Structure 1
Amino acid sequence: MSNPEAVLARMREYMVGPTRFMNLHACFDLGIIEALRKEAGLTAAELGVAVGVKPDAVEQLLYLLVKEGFVARDEAIGGYTLDALAEVAETDLQRVLTFMGMIKTGMLRQLYYLADSVSTGSVVGLKELYGFDGTMFEAAAEVAEVRAAWGPLAQNETASVYPWFFRSFDVPAGARVLDVLGGTGLGAVMTCQLKGSPGLRVTTFDRPALEAECLRNFEARGVAEDCSFVGGDVLESLPEGYDVVLLKHFVDMYDKDEVLTILRNAHRALEPGGRIVVLAAVYPEDITDTDDYQADFFPAYILGCVMGRGGLQKVSTYRSWLEECGFDVTEVSAKDPADIPADAIINRVVMCATKRS
């Protein structure tokens, strides 16, 4: 910014951010947008009847949407019609609404305690709101509201990311694969389905409490003979003797020292010449890139809502950490921009590296 006035004007954008978000979300939540999708030209009074809200309140909420061009108003009759929103495909709109729903339920209240979470290194919002002492991933297993907010988004992300992820690297025939923090076994199942070969064996490594569900999933998906589960703590050690180690989604949930520990544990887990594959969201090399929204979202999300520690890094940072831990980076893959929707916040890469002799 070149002058104080410009700085103040920029800060104003932050001041109105939460109100803009909730105004738009409320128009969907109340059914106003759905009513206009069914019938164009409804007045505030007619919309009020349709959604059970006072007409004056409907009109107040729609001022912003008219300003943004999402909705149009016929000044002559006072009727409202979907404008730009009418052009958005239903599947795209539902994806955005799923993400917005997670932000509303899984973030806004927790972020009230962001500074406290940063100070303590824990997700204070989960303690204050739900009496839960732990991470969002752990809370999702026990707190219905957290699970309802995060679960649909996780399913959408898995459906979008995993097919691309598994196309981004090779698994040698008959390899032994370790899926680190593989949860209830989806990654192991997909490894068998998409990278299968005679003798391929896949091990899911995660908290011991997940073993029973993971083994049930292996049985249900018909891969029980090819998959196994090992319980443990990723920051303590990993089982050894593997040809490929998969680190999917979670490295940004740890601070630098912890990531280095995980990478060193992965190095010990691999046979000579073995390969590590890391899937991670990353910051752009130029953090001032105004077309990238990672820094707008993830620091507050991870520190205030998910872990209380950790955060995204640049590819160059991950490369240096991998090299420090005994790996040679062989490939970095990113999604084709044409395959990334315009509303996307997350920018992921797949980094492949080989254990240095």
Structure 2
Amino acid sequence: MTSRWAPDPDDPATALMHRLAGKWITQALCAAAELGLAEALAEPADLEALARAVHCEPGSLLRLLRVLVGEGALVEQPDGRYALTPMGAQLRADALGPLARFVGSPSQWTPWTELTHAVRTGQSAFERVHGQPLFDYLAAHPQEARLYDEAVDAFTSQQARALAALPVLDGVQTLVDVGGGRGTLLAELLRQRPALRGVLFDRPHVVAAARARFEAQALHERCTFVAGDFFESVPPGGDVYVVKHVLHNWDDDRAVTLLRRCAQALPEGGRVFVVEAILLPGNRRDGARMFDLEMLVLTGGGRERSKPEFRRLLSQAGLRLGTTQRLSDGAW
């Protein structure tokens, strides 16, 4: 018996089987990140040496390595040693490794078994499985919250560098990061823009953790830390308000409320920068559509949106859609 997994547009059955194998690929990448394979392969290594480094049974590790080679994360060299590819190097803890671990973690993986329920009802699969909304769950589970924060940081870093380089930030004096989490975006902007001052605004326990990180990076003197609820108000005094990957967590009514709070805080000539995935016209395979389904699973009411949908939300909040700029895959 043989198996053919390479997608073949002329063979619908094998094309479907390749896609069904996605769960195995995801978990293989998650396991690679959990085991620290990218760190252990800073230099090429053979199976026995690698098994010792990551404390694995060699035969079982070999089975994982075969899949990782097949998926392009590793290469097996002619001398039998394994080496990272550029994609595999992204599994490091200082790159996208935390995101791989988060996506494959039980708390995030199990809700997808209830996707059918979410599609039928429009209700959160995460809440059906865990008995509480995502952010309430994270507040009650500190280890999961840390993994979530690390995953968001990993996803944010490349977007932060792209945003910092944009001319639209020239001349900005104070930037307020609304729902800024641990401050990865704001910290990068402050590093790249020495004249910029920042305000980090989020929930109290999030802001407390962020302050320590800014102090460790010697950025705290240029940043004000404010705790609160962005559905109630946001801090005044910014030239620019950044709302990054926050709106997609909420339904339209809550999203408009958040944007309205930003509009109320804006000075004359102030701007709001919304960083989100955009659903582009046409039927295409892209990250925004995947994220949109993820938001259905995790939140029920949250969603990714098209440009006309963003224009409508902004208008309802008293704002006007200006220009759009692509930052990275999955972010505008």
User: Normalised by the size of structure 1, how large is the TM-score?
Assistant: 0.66
Higher strand fraction: Structure 1 or Structure 2? 1
Alignment of 1:248-263 (within 5 A): 248-263=244-259
**2:293 is aligned with 1:295:** no
Match of 2:99 in 1: 99
Structure 2 vs 1, CA of residues 73 and 134 (structure 1 numbering), >3 Å: closer, same or farther?
A: same
Pick aligned residue for 1:325 from 304, 317, 320: 317
C-alpha distance after superposition, 1:278-301 (max 9, x if no partner): 111223333x223x23323x1343
Closer/same/farther in 2, CA of residues 90 and 188 from structure 1, 3 Å limit: closer
Q: Deviations over 1:71-124 (max 9, x none)?
A: 6699xxxx9664xx6544763342454433222115222322344566444732
Match of 1:353 in 2: none
Aligned letter for 1:181? Answer: G
Report the residue type matching 1:328 in the other structure: R
AA of the residue aligned to 1:113: E
Question: Quick one: distance in 2 between partners of 1:260 and 1:194?
Answer: 31
Moved more, 22-31 or 161-170: 22-31
Q: For 1:91 and 1:65, how far apart are their aligned partners in 2?
A: 12
Match of residue 247, structure 1, among 243, 249, 256: 243
Tell me how far apart the structure 2 counterparts of residues 62 and 190 of structure 1 sit (CA, whole Å). 35
SS in 2 for 1:332: coil
Distance 1:311 1:151 in 2: 20
Counterpart-to-counterpart distance in 2, 1:96 and 1:265: 33
Aligned to 1:278, the other structure's residue is in SS state strand
Rounded to whole Å, the distance in 2 between the matches of 1:93 and 1:225 is 32
Do the aligned residues in 2 keep the contact of 1:285 with 1:315 (CA within 8 Å)?
no
Larger Rg: 1
SS of 2:151's partner is: helix
Distance 1:274 1:64 in 2: 51
Amino acid at match of 2:133: G
Q: Residue in 2 aligned with 1:310?
A: 302
Q: Contact 1:117 / 1:123 at 8 angstroms: preserved in 2?
A: no
Aligned partner of 2:23 in structure 1 is 18
| Alpha-carbon separation, structure 2, partners of 1:134 and 1:230 | 21
**Aligned in 2, Cα 1:282/1:160: closer, same or farther, shift over 3 Å?**
same
Which 5+ residue runs of structure 1 have no aligned equivalent? Answer: 341-345, 350-357
For residues 35-46 of structure 1, the aligned pairs below 5 Å read: 37-39=44-46
CA 155–213 in structure 1, closer or farther in 2 if over 3 Å, else same: closer
Partner residue of 1:348? 331
Between the aligned partners of 2:58 and 2:164, the Cα distance in structure 1 is: 51
Moved more, 216-225 or 152-161: 216-225
Number of equivalences: 312
Per-residue CA distance 1:35-62 (angstroms, 9 max, x = gap)? 994127x8xxx9999965484x667656
Work out whether residues 178 and 244 of structure 1, in 8 Å CA contact, stay in contact via their aligned partners in 2. Answer: yes
- SS of 1:334's partner is coil
> Does the residue aligned with 2:321 lie in a helix, a strand or coil?
strand
For 1:355, the equivalent position in structure 2 comes to none
Residues 149-188 of structure 1, C-alpha deviations (whole Å, 9 max, x = no match): 3343233233322122222222646x45432123355555
| Aligned counterparts of 1:279 and 1:323: Cα–Cα separation in 2 | 17
Are 2:285 and 1:284 aligned? no
Identical residues among aligned pairs (%): 20
| Counterpart code for 1:249 | H
- 1:343 counterpart residue number: none
Q: Is residue 229 of structure 1 aligned with residue 226 of structure 2?
A: yes
For the 8 Å contact 1:203–1:230, the answer to whether it is kept is: no
Distance change in 2, residues 1:81/1:28 (3 Å) = farther
- The yes-or-no answer on 1:111 pairing with 2:112 is yes
1:148, 1:208 → 2: CA distance?
15
Q: Report the residue type matching 1:244 in the other structure.
A: V
- TM-score of the superposition, structure 2-length normalised? 0.70
Aligned-residue offset at 1:251: 1.6
- The change in CA–CA distance for 1:62 and 1:223 in structure 2 (over 3 A counts) is closer
What is the SS of the residue equivalent to 1:327? coil
Tell me, in whole angstroms, the C-alpha distance in 2 between the residues paired with 1:246 and 1:264: 13
Tell me, which stretches of 5 or more residues in structure 2 are unaligned?
A: 1-9
Shift of 1:310: 0.9
Residue 190 of structure 2 contacts residue 219 of structure 2 at CA under 8 Å; is this kept in 1? no
RMSD (Å) for aligned C-alpha atoms = 4.3
Cα separation, 2, equivalents of 1:241 and 1:48: 55
Q: Distance in 1 between matches of 2:187 and 2:208?
A: 15
SS at match of 1:328: coil
**CA–CA distance in structure 2, aligned partners of residues 237 and 48 of structure 1:** 53
Counterpart Cα distance in 1 of 2:187 and 2:76: 48
How far has the Cα of 1:254 moved from its partner? 1.5
